[in-house]
Each structure stands twice: as C-alpha cells, then as structure tokens.
C-alpha cells in the first residue's frame, strides 16, 4: 500500500513553512510545485543551476509571486535550513546537496509524489516505457475523452496537475506519464498504480542509472507494489518485460499486447480483419481499424494498443477508442509532418532521444529516399542499431553532437566492407546540419530529424531542438517562395 505519510503530514499545516524547490526547469513540475505550495502559504525558494535565459518561460510565470529565486548556483543553507525539499527528477538523489539535506533531517520529495499523495481520483493509469510513452499517454486520454469522461493528463508529459487538485473529482480519469527518474522516487513510497502500462524497455539514461539493470529496476516500480486486483499492460514481444510479469513481480493481473501474428489473448492486431482487438475470456472486442490512421508506423499501432488497454480499464467505450485512434494527429516533435520544401518532405522527430525510437521512425518512412539527421548528447547506450537501420533505409546521414565520432566510426566500418553507397556528412552546428539536409535531399525524398540522442550540449531539451528544426523548414520554404 502506498505510503505518502510524510507528504500528508506536511499538508496538515503548510502555512509559513520553508520549502526549497530544487530545479525549476521548463517542463512544468518545478513550476507547478512552487506555485502550488506558495498558494498554501509556504515560504518557497526556487534554486536552479541554470540561468535566466534557459529558464525564461518558467520565470515569467513566477513573476509577481512571493517566491524567492536563486539561479546559477545552489546554496547549502537552502537545502539544510528548510522544512521540505521538492527535488526535480533531473536532480540525482545522491547529489551533494540532497545528501546534505537528508543528513540534516530534511524530508526530500518530488512533485509527482506531492500530487499522488492528494489526488482524489479513483481512476488512475500510469504509463512508462523507453519509447512511446507520451504518445500512449495522450492517446489513452483522448480515448477516455471521446468516451465521455473528464480527463486530466500530467507527469513527465510536461504538465503539473498540482494546481488542479481542487478541481479533480473522484470520478475523473487521471492519466500520468512517468519517467524512470520519477518512478525511482516513487519506489520508497511503495506506490504503483491500479492500471500500469509499460510500452517497451531498452537501454536509456545509463549516464544517470549506471547500468541497464538499474534502469530496469527503476521502471519496475510501476508494477512492483501493485495489488492482485490491479492491472499491468505489458508489451509481450519485449523479453525484458518478462521481469514485470507475475513471475518477476507479484501483484496485478497481466493484460499483454503484441504485434505478433497469431497470438491469442489480450490486445492484438487482427491483420486478417484489419482491426485491433481485445480478447478476454468474455469474448473479443473490436477496438479500432488498422486502415485510415493518421499516425505512421507499426510502433504507433502498438502504442494505440497499449493506450486502448489503459483506456478500456478506466471505462472507455469501443466507440470512443475507435474515434480517438482514427482522429489522433500525434504529439508534437514525434514524426511530425512539417510539409514540403522544393518537393522534399520534412519530418520533425526531435523527441527521438533513444536509438530505438529513431530506428522506428526510419522504418516508418522506409522507401522515401531518406536523409537522416542524427546525433547529440551521449547517454552511454549502444548506437549499433541506429547505424544498422540507417544503412538499410537512408540514402544519406548527417551527424552532429557529442555522438558524432561514435556514429561516424560505426558507419565507416559498415561502408568499408559493403556494397552500400551512402552520403555521410559531419555538421559543426545544427544550422549547418539543416542546410546540408536540404542540399542532399532530392525531390520526392524525405528529410528526417530523428537524432536517437538527447539534445543536451546543443539545446536545453528536445522541444527547443524540434522548434529550431521547424523554424528552419519554415524559413527555407519562405526563401523558395520569395526567390533570390
């Protein structure tokens, strides 16, 4: 049973108590916690190692509030001489300042723990995975909305629901995307949701977790503390997820989803009838058609399956699921169609921060005379799969960022001994990569920004990277239309 007793004890008398928000960020969690706790009468201080420029969007929303802000540094007194610390998931729990706070007897929590401690909804689903969790979360919410439910979406997707606690009702549906960092913090609270979804697992964030086993262990929190009546929706084609089933972790009943032909039971794609189905002991339910979907790629059909399972468990109807599946346009920065420039299609897949996500995008666009822009921050994961997939599907690859050398070495080794011809270019800047992609691409072809790596070092986050690519495409289209 979940234990948020420390958070609940704090909420009994929050007025005048000193709180430090460690990490403001731009994805909503730090901002939401700061504003919410300030509204309760807490004396809130926000501290972040980044400066004003990087945090401008969040700082603008703090303007006019009584919240103190310390940027560009952390002061030890702000961690040791307070009543509560709300740490961003991006701050390692063994960091110097959080360790000092715990030694001083200060309780350290997170924004998602604060929300779950007070969330009144009886209908909660949490979604995680190495890839596809944002799409799956958004889809599940849309399916519930089309089914007539009031839905709240939050977590790692970039929205804090703390400020909406007073509005959320018991019968509302809440869908949360959870990262490995957020789940790591929830383990000590013995929390797992009634409905848990794991889209897939592949090596990620090894620069933070250290090993793949540690990363998997953090993810497994989503099912570790479930009760027998709870549900875990797992991708049965992923061998690692066997650790999340009944044999690996006691708890909820497994509802598998699969892309394999001929698999019986659970959520699957009936390719003969061209429909996704849910097969249970009570019978077979048709969920959504496989034709006419706006989302590209087999991986997105699997995301839809997982989302359907979560939405179904929270009371979605088959009609609502089908309407949402056919209408859903996708999430920003995930295989986002930016249109044509001189007959070349441009796709923004900046959210692809893992090799597996980039591999799925390339496969979805196979056969389109593909020019790939790849590379970025090095998270310590293997890039071999990205290289192999690009060798199969790309006519040219533009490399950039900290992983440029590793990727170039991988491509050079494969090109040296084969019959494949490929253009390979190293860009010094993101702007140079974009311009080179337009030069290399032929009419009727496709340029795909799908880095397979995080954006750090060149951008603050994948959103900024995607917006920069979108701006380039718009400017290039304007150059063409206006002429020299």
pLDDT of residue 87: 97
- What CATH number should be reported for the domain holding residue 367? 3.90.190.20
- What CATH number should be reported for the domain holding residue 156? 3.40.1190.10
pLDDT of residue 467: 97
- Looking at the fold, whether 103 and 117 belong to one and the same domain comes out as no
- Looking at the fold, whether 127 and 270 belong to one and the same domain comes out as yes
- Looking at the fold, whether 174 and 279 belong to one and the same domain comes out as yes
| Mean pLDDT within 347-355 | 96
> Among residues 89, 109, 129, which one ends one of the domains?
109
Q: Decide if 432 is inside a domain.
A: yes
Q: Decide if 73 is inside a domain.
A: yes
Q: Decide if 467 is inside a domain.
A: yes
pLDDT of residue 159: 86
- Looking at the fold, whether 122 and 268 belong to one and the same domain comes out as yes
pLDDT tens digits, residue range 361-418?
Answer: 999 999 889 999 999 999 999 999 999 999 999 999 999 999 999 999 999 999 987 7
Q: Is the confidence at residue 255, as pLDDT, over 90?
A: yes
pLDDT of residue 226: 95
Q: Decide if 313 is inside a domain.
A: yes
- Looking at the fold, whether 144 and 37 belong to one and the same domain comes out as no
- Looking at the fold, whether 251 and 389 belong to one and the same domain comes out as no
- Looking at the fold, whether 79 and 136 belong to one and the same domain comes out as no
Q: Is the confidence at residue 251, as pLDDT, over 90?
A: no
Q: Decide if 253 is inside a domain.
A: yes
Q: Is the confidence at residue 484, as pLDDT, over 70?
A: no
- What CATH number should be reported for the domain holding residue 63? 3.40.50.720
| Mean pLDDT within 217-246 | 93
pLDDT of residue 459: 94
pLDDT of residue 258: 94
> Among residues 76, 109, 142, which one ends one of the domains?
109
pLDDT of residue 448: 98
Q: Decide if 318 is inside a domain.
A: yes
pLDDT of residue 49: 95
pLDDT of residue 247: 67
Number of domains present in the structure of the chain? 3
Q: Minimal CA–CA distance to 104: which of 18, 5, 12?
A: 18
Of 482 and 192, more confident:
192
- Looking at the fold, whether 132 and 252 belong to one and the same domain comes out as yes
pLDDT of residue 373: 98
pLDDT of residue 483: 64
Task: Give the C-alpha separation, 60 to 35, whole Å.
Answer: 12
pLDDT of residue 263: 64
Taking all residues of the chain, what is their mean pLDDT, rounded to a whole number?
A: 94
pLDDT tens digits, residue range 299-313?
Answer: 999 999 999 999 999
- Looking at the fold, whether 311 and 342 belong to one and the same domain comes out as no
- The percent of residues above 90 in pLDDT, for the chain, comes to 87
> Among residues 79, 109, 139, which one ends one of the domains?
109
- Looking at the fold, whether 179 and 313 belong to one and the same domain comes out as yes
| Mean pLDDT within 423-432 | 96
| Residue corresponding to tokens 């929270």 | 314
pLDDT of residue 293: 94
Q: Decide if 225 is inside a domain.
A: yes
Q: Is the confidence at residue 231, as pLDDT, over 80?
A: yes
Q: Is the confidence at residue 104, as pLDDT, over 80?
A: yes
- Looking at the fold, whether 278 and 314 belong to one and the same domain comes out as yes
| Mean pLDDT within 195-212 | 93
pLDDT tens digits, residue range 134-159?
Answer: 999 999 999 999 999 999 999 999 78
Cα-flanking dihedrals φ and ψ of residue 413, to 5°?
-65, -40
Q: Decide if 4 is inside a domain.
A: no
Domain carrying residue 312: 113-327
Give the number of other CB atoms < 10 A from CB of residue 270. 15
- Looking at the fold, whether 118 and 69 belong to one and the same domain comes out as no
């Amino acid at each position: 049973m979940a234990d948020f007793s420390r958070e609940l004890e704090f909420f009994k008398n929050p007025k005048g108590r000193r709180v430090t928000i460690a990490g403001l960020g731009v994805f909503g969690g730090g901002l939401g916690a700061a504003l919410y706790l300030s509204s309760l009468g807490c004396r809130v201080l926000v501290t972040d190692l980044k400066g004003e420029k990087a945090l401008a969007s969040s700082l603008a929303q703090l303007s006019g509030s009584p919240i103190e802000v310390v940027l560009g540094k952390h002061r030890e007194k702000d961690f040791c001489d307070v009543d509560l610390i709300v740490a961003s998931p991006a701050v390692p729990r063994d960091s110097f300042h959080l360790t000092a706070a715990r030694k001083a007897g200060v309780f350290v929590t997170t924004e998602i723990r604060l929300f779950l401690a007070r969330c009144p909804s009886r209908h909660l689903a949490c979604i995680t995975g190495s890839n596809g969790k944002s799409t799956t979360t958004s889809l599940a919410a849309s399916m519930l909305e089309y089914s007539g439910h009031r839905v709240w979406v939050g977590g790692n997707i970039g929205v804090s629901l703390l400020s909406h606690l007073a509005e959320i009702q018991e019968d509302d549906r809440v869908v949360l995307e959870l990262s490995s960092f957020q789940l790591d913090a929830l383990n000590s609270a013995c929390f797992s949701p009634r409905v848990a979804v794991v889209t897939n697992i592949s090596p990620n964030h090894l620069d933070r977790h250290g090993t793949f086993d540690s990363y998997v262990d953090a993810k497994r929190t989503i099912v570790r503390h479930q009760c027998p009546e709870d549900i875990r929706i797992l991708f049965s084609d992923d061998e690692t997820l066997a650790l999340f089933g009944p044999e690996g972790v006691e708890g909820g009943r497994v509802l598998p989803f699969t892309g394999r032909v001929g698999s019986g039971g659970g959520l699957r794609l009936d390719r003969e009838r061209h429909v996704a189905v849910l097969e249970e002991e009570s019978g077979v339910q048709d969920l959504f058609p496989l034709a006419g979907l706006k989302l590209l790629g087999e991986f997105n059909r699997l995301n839809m399956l997982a989302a359907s399972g979560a939405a179904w468990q929270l009371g979605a109807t088959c009609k609502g699921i089908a309407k949402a599946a056919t209408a859903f346009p996708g999430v920003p920065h995930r295989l986002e169609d930016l249109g044509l420039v001189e007959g070349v299609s441009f796709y923004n897949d900046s959210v692809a921060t893992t090799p597996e996500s980039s591999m799925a995008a390339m496969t979805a666009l196979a056969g389109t005379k593909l020019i790939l822009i790849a590379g970025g921050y090095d998270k310590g994961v293997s890039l071999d799969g990205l290289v192999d997939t690009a060798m199969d599907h790309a006519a040219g690859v533009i490399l950039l960022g900290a992983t440029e050398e590793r990727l170039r070495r991988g491509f050079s080794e494969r090109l040296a001994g084969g019959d494949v011809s490929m253009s390979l270019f190293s860009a010094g800047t993101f702007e140079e990569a974009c311009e080179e992609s337009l030069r290399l691409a032929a009419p009727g072809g496709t340029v795909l920004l799908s880095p397979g790596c995080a954006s750090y070092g060149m951008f603050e986050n994948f959103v900024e990277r995607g917006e920069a690519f979108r701006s380039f495409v718009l400017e290039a289209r304007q150059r063409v239309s206006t002429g020299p």
